[in-house]
Amino acid sequence: MADTRSERVRWAALSKVSAVAGAIATRKLLQALWPAGDDTTGPPFNPADRRVAWSTAVQWGIAAGVGAGLARVISQRAAAAGWEAATGSAPPGLKT
């Protein structure tokens, strides 16, 4: 059976909500785990700030990039599993 427009809209909304939730959780986790080291200010909230050392800004960028990528995969898979549990079929666009 072909995907209906309403299924595609619901899936798009669910996947966006799960992505936002994953991004928020990742940022909070990174902030909690970020080593303060000699700088007691914690993670650089704005790595573009010239007062943040290049090494710190690059480390934050790498950690944020990896964290965001993992969060996206995890949240999308969780959303797809939830969709399948609720509807009994794969989400629109993921059907094989």
pLDDT digits (tens, 9 = 90+) for 13-59: 999 999 899 989 988 888 888 876 545 567 777 888 888 888 888 88
What are the backbone angles phi and psi of residue 44, rounded to the nearest 5°? -80, 110
pTM over 0.85: no
Per-residue tokens: 25:
């959780």
Q: Where are the beta strands (DSSP E) in 3-93?
A: none
